[in-house]
Amino acid sequence: MKLLRYGPSGAEEPGLLDADGNIRDLSGTIADIGGSDISPEGLARLAAIDPASLPKVEGNPRLGACVANTGKFICIGLNYADHAAESGMAVPSEPVIFMKATSAIVGPNDDVLIPRGSQKTDWEVELGIIIGKTAKYVTEAEALDYVAGYCVAHDVSERAFQTERQGQWTKGKSCDTFGPTGPWLVTKDEVADPQNLGMWLTVNGETMQNGSTKTMVYGVTHLVSYLSQFMSLHPGDIISTGTPPGVGMGMKPQRWLKPGDVVELGVDGLGSQKQHVRADG
């Protein structure tokens, strides 16, 4: 299934995408996309519904973030060897973990805002993992039992805030609009191999990133198991798994987003995003 949330920001309704690409309204069935409704049992109940029996949503509504009430937005740094090289950093001996504030989460096609004082706003296409049931001390062998599905995630980053100011990376990753997710939560049964997904990103139509999840240093099952050793993962939590090479920071000369730019990105089978860039305030 491809589950989604549509409607005005803050008032999204749950829906699913049918085989013909139509949005079907799930609001008569569930309150939102999250919590127990994305557990294995909840997803089984949704899968049993004939999409044709649900009201069709007319028009072209705004899409919100594909999962509601995310408690943790966990990101993995330097998880592609070639991206670590372009960043001038070593491949880590364990996953590098940092948090992105959940207030950064927006819909897949919402505007990206360049924060005040920014000179180095950058792009990063990533595979997002969405947790479906509480995971604590899980093994790699059972890790996928705790995954509801996957999504496209855009880990927008302000590099000066991230690496040139005191402290850790969080403040360069958490600005408003720096976490577009979706368009859909694609349930794991529709993703044959999360470690073999092409991913791409363009700026103003020019290809910047063209990679594959097969070059990840630490794969999906390892990351879910690893993180669960340090913290409980809860339904709706998002793990953004790192980016392939081609970010602005790694270019010579470096390139940064500016107002008026248009960023498009996607992951095979998970849909695509399109964001217009503008100044914040």
Residues 43 and 94 in one domain: no
Residues 163 and 210 in one domain: yes
Q: Is residue 67 in a domain?
A: no
- Please, what is the Cα angle at 3 between 228 and 53, to 5 degrees? 140
Q: How many domains does the chain have?
A: 2
Residues 273 and 186 in one domain: yes
Location of structure tokens 């924060």 = 115
Least confident range from 77-81, 208-212, 253-257: namely 77-81
Residues 9 and 116 in one domain: no
User: What's the pLDDT score for residue 110?
Assistant: 98
Q: Is residue 245 in a domain?
A: yes
Identify whether the C-beta of residue 199 lies closer than 8 Å to the C-beta of residue 62.
Answer: no
Q: Supply the Cα-derived Rg of the chain in whole angstroms.
A: 18
Please provide the size of the chain in residues.
281
Encode pLDDT of 25-43 as tens digits.
Answer: 999 999 999 999 999 999 9
Residues 12 and 128 in one domain: no
Residues 171 and 269 in one domain: yes
Instruction: Identify which of 207, 208, 226, 206 has the alpha carbon closest to the alpha carbon of residue 218.
Output: 226
User: Rounded mean pLDDT of 61-71?
Assistant: 98
In the sheet with 238-240, reading across from the earlier edge strand, the strands are: 23-25, 13-17, 2-6, 185-187, 147-154, 125-131, 238-240, 73-77, 96-99
- Tell me the whole-structure pTM to 2 decimals: 0.96
> Which residue range forms the structural domain that includes residue 31?
2-53
Round to whole Å and give the CA distance between 195 and 79: 13
